[in-house]
Amino acid sequence: MRSVILAILPILFIHAKCDDKYHEKRKQLVELELRMALGGNTTLNDKENIVNNCLMQHKFNELDYGFDNPDHYNLSHHFFNYRNQIQKSKVYKIIQSMPKGAVLHVHDMAIIGPDYFVNLTYMDHLYVCFGKPIKFWFSYTVPNTTCDGDWKLMKDVRKAAANVTQFDADLRKHFTLVCDNPDVVYPSIKETWTTFMGYFTSVYGLLSFRPNWEQYFYDALKLFRADNIMYVEVRSILPNLYELDGTVYDKIITAKAYRKTINKFLKDYPDFLGAKLIFAPSRKVDAKVLDSYIQTARHIKRDMPDLYAGFDLVGQEDLGNPLIEFVPQLLQAKDLNFFFHAGETNWYGTLTDENLVDAVLLGAKRIGHGYALAKHPALMREVIEKDIGIEVNVLSNAVLSLVKDVRNHPLNIFLSLDLPVVLSSDDPGAWEADPLSDDFYVAFVGVASRLADLRLLKGLALNSLKYSAMKAERKVRAIREFNSRWNDFVNHFDCKSY
């Protein structure tokens, strides 16, 4: 028996050495991928490691439960089905309390949730038109704007309601996409975008009333600040603001209203770092209208350089005109700083998909969404070499019918390759999400690697400042201020509080 054992031992030793080499190579590959990912080369200090240990313990608990109970894993379902459950997550609570840098992709009319708009309908001199979609307009007399029906005073309509509470609850539905059965209500992108565009039509008259516009954006900035955001770049079509007497202003006045509101907010909250405007009108126009857009952008840039950040074209990308149709004009306007929506589509090899090509060739500073970018290795290389920020909006892509299960969102590819990703929220008010924390949470738990940790969150926050349109010296100060707030966050962190 001893001779048999002695004969086997060398074989076992050889197998053990082979196993050691295999496991060592395996370990090296896993560690290499972690280092290659966004934030992978960041070194955490002792206090950051305390935060990270707590964060990852809670993250592993959530993911392990989901892995063992896939039917109960919230993030594989529609956001509307788990939206109210997020606040119970300890990972979410940690993310909410940490500084997150900036929001660089958000549309002005969809920042605050539906209750805000219901409250606006209690104002005097408001008329309502119950068409499809519903419209509102402030006026001393019956509005002469188009209406698919009759204009009626809102206070009279509400007074005539049998149940005012139910009336307001029904009214609220016009100011949100949220519903109880989203998979039935929104079977495809067509139904989703139809409702989405109806949302903007409904809130337009409420917000473009000049006094409301200024107060609304002030209140929106308060929400950003409360969500631990330091700076905002807001996209706007610059609606023509109006007064009760029927006076209608041009887009330059709207831009000035922005500047006025931002200056007031900074005076009231000097710890906020500021906000800038990206003029983002509709992409569904002809060349003549685009020329007028370009002239407006030049006017704002010239007269309000402190406010102006850049230029974009927006709307449902599949139905709008592709960038290639506007290339001659846009090549002559590259000084405007482009932040083009591009690649917000599931269609591969179409003109919509190729908006990514034109966005890169036109010198875009950042690309809005870039959802389809993972299908284009040459473009990804260009993005890395030219350091073009990718504004990723996970919840928007899920709600607006690009991806059903966020685990399949291409952001995981972008993160693994350390692309210049910036997380943002697009239209959070339209789906009753936080200004940014909900998107951070879903990206961190539902999209990123199970092993992605505090280094990723810190890297994403820093990216949002790095790829902002702030001037270089201002950017340096912003990053310094972020680091100060980050240190305050980790120095006062107590895991028992979560």
Q: Is 369 a catalytic residue?
A: yes
Tell me phi and psi for residue 118, to 5 degrees: -60, -40
**Residue 317 appears among annotated catalytic residues:** no
Contact 432, 385 (CB under 8 A): no
- Write down the catalytic residue from 62, 344, 391, 432: 344
The answer to whether the CB of 278 falls within 8 A of the CB of 339 is yes
Helix (H, G, I), strand (E, B) or coil at 341: strand
Tokens, residue 174 = 């016009």
Q: Are 278 and 313 in contact (CB under 8 A)?
A: no
Nearest residue to 205 (alpha-carbon basis) of 276, 123, 106? 123
CA dihedral 246, 249, 250, 256 (to 10 degrees): -160
445 and 95 Cβ atoms separated by less than 8 Å: no
Residue 433 · residue 466 · CB < 8 Å: no
Cα–Cα distance measured from residue 333 to residue 305, given in angstroms and rounded to the nearest whole number: 16
> Is residue 173 within 8 Å of 118, Cβ to Cβ?
no
Tokens of 439: 């998107």
Compute the distance between CA of residue 460 and CA of residue 393 in angstroms, rounded to an integer: 13
Residues of 194-222 as b/e, b for ≥16 C-beta within 10 angstroms? ebbeebbebbbbbbbbbebbbebbeebbb
Catalytic residue chosen out of the listed positions 174, 341, 369, 409: 369
Distance CA 14, CA 7 (A): 12
**Which neighbouring-strand residues pair with 232?**
103, 275
Query: What is the CA 154 to chain-centroid distance, rounded?
Result: 33
Angstrom distance (rounded) from CA 324 to CA 322: 5
Give the three-class secondary structure for 102: strand
- Give the C-alpha separation, 93 to 73, whole Å: 19
Instruction: Give me 173's structure tokens.
Output: 């539905």
CA separation for the pair 47, 28 (Å, rounded): 27
Q: How many residues does the chain have?
A: 498
Which residues sit opposite 426 in a β-bridge? 106
Residues involved in catalysis: 344, 369
